[in-house]
Amino acid sequence: MGRLANMNRPAAVEIAYECMRFLITHNPTNATLNKFTEDLKKFEVNTLVRVCDATYDKAPVEKEGIQVLVRVDSKDWPFDDGAPPPTQIVDDWLKLLNTKFREEPGCCIAVHCVAGLGRAPVLVALALIECGMKYEDAVQFIRQKRRGAFNSKQLLYLEKYRPKMRLRFKDTNGHNCCVQ
């Protein structure tokens, strides 16, 4: 894999909102794993969610203290490229965020698909929408940092998505906040 092959891959971007931090990135290979892991550490990622088929050995990442998440059924979280996520993945994703951001507010969760333009941004958008952001604002918020994110099918899914406000809570002063 030469330098040119990496040129068309957008750099990892951090999306921070209230007490949530995400790193949207592309799929590493075993050859680029060291650089990928360095990026994760630079953003203080402690959890990595993979929403495409595995193309690398997760052991070196885990050796750096970063949990590579597999779902309860021991599978990764893949769903079809260009498609909206299945309900079960959405539920598992929101459960994960609820737990992680309550236990470690401000921690960073990395999420990647192949190019980091479709599936990964959709999951981050869902988190923002569940926090009360309008879908248009969530899309724009992510696209400011991740140009080219979302296809028309994914945008339609996000537009029709009805949040259950699963990431909104009242803090001790009774103010609304996200996952505190």
Q: Which residues are catalytic?
A: 81, 113
Residue 92 falls in which region: left (phi positive, over 0), alpha (psi -120 to 50) or beta: alpha
* Residue 126: burial class (beta carbons within 10 Å; 0-12, 13-18, 19+): buried
Per-residue burial over 90-123, b = 16 or more CB atoms within 10 Å of its CB, e = otherwise: bebbbebbeebbeeeeeebbbbbbbbbbbbbbbb
CA 89 to chain centre: 12
